[in-house]
Amino acid sequence: MLLSSVLITLVYWLVALWYSNKGTYSKDLVVFHQLFGTGNKWFDLWQYVYQFAVMVVLFWLVPYLITRFYLKADFSSFGLRLNYNKQALIICAVAYTVVITSTFFSSQDPLIQSEYPLSKLIGTSWTVFIAYQSVYLFYFLAYEIFFRGYLQFGLKSENAGTKELIVIILIQTVLTTLFHIGKPTPEITAAAAFGPVFGYVAFRYNSIWYGMIIHFVMNVFIDLFVLHWLHLLPQKFF
């Protein structure tokens, strides 16, 4: 499980994260432009749709195939069941308040503004913004399914004790933090801080979905607030 997770992550980095700087607020994904050329200005947006698609294939489909046909296991048992828990819902509600407040301030950091939104073209219209976020959701689904589901629950033994769970969460945190190398320093720090939290929540409630929703909401508001500070919020719907 650990070896396949490392290999899949390396392939993803090469195919969908390797980039060259294009300007202050933009970058070019190398493999995307090698495959499709330069194109028009909208390629700055389409390259991220490509990135999200690669994420879904490598971090969702491939683990499913490995689990289904090699391990002969039920993929949903890897933390993918939505287990209703009132306590978890209350924690999520509190977390939303904290997340939205913290992103309001962190989005003012020039380093964060240089990274997010990944493409400033989503400020063209609210239609583009909503469509982009809808596709972005699948990125976060794949991310959580892979790191907090496939990896975490895949390493967990049937009668895992506290020590084993801590080690697994630390392994997951190291990989998710390394995954953010190249991102702004505040984001790398946040990945190291939230890795254990989301890992614990996944094990505590036997589900990755509570952490996934918080993760997604946090990034939607980062995009919104950064566009606000840069005076790039959409002025029209279409």
Give the number of domains in the chain. 1
* 29 within domain boundaries: yes
pLDDT of residue 48: 96
* 75 within domain boundaries: yes
> CA separation (Å) from 79 to 12, 19, 144, 212?
22, 32, 10, 11
Task: Encode pLDDT of 100-125 as tens digits.
Answer: 999 999 999 999 999 999 999 999 99
Task: Encode pLDDT of 193-229 as tens digits.
Answer: 999 999 999 999 999 999 999 999 999 999 999 999 9
* 238 within domain boundaries: no
- Give the three-class secondary structure for 37: coil
* 213 within domain boundaries: yes
* 64 within domain boundaries: yes
Of 131-135, 184-188, 212-216, highest mean pLDDT: 131-135
* 234 within domain boundaries: no
pLDDT of residue 82: 84
Structure tokens at 48: 């991220």
Dist CA 92 CA 218 (whole Å)? 12
* 46 within domain boundaries: yes
* 237 within domain boundaries: no
Residue of 52, 75, 70 lying closest to 145 (CA atoms): 75
Task: Encode pLDDT of 80-98 as tens digits.
Answer: 988 888 888 888 888 888 8
pTM (2 d.p.)? 0.94
Range(s) of the domain holding residue 49: 2-229
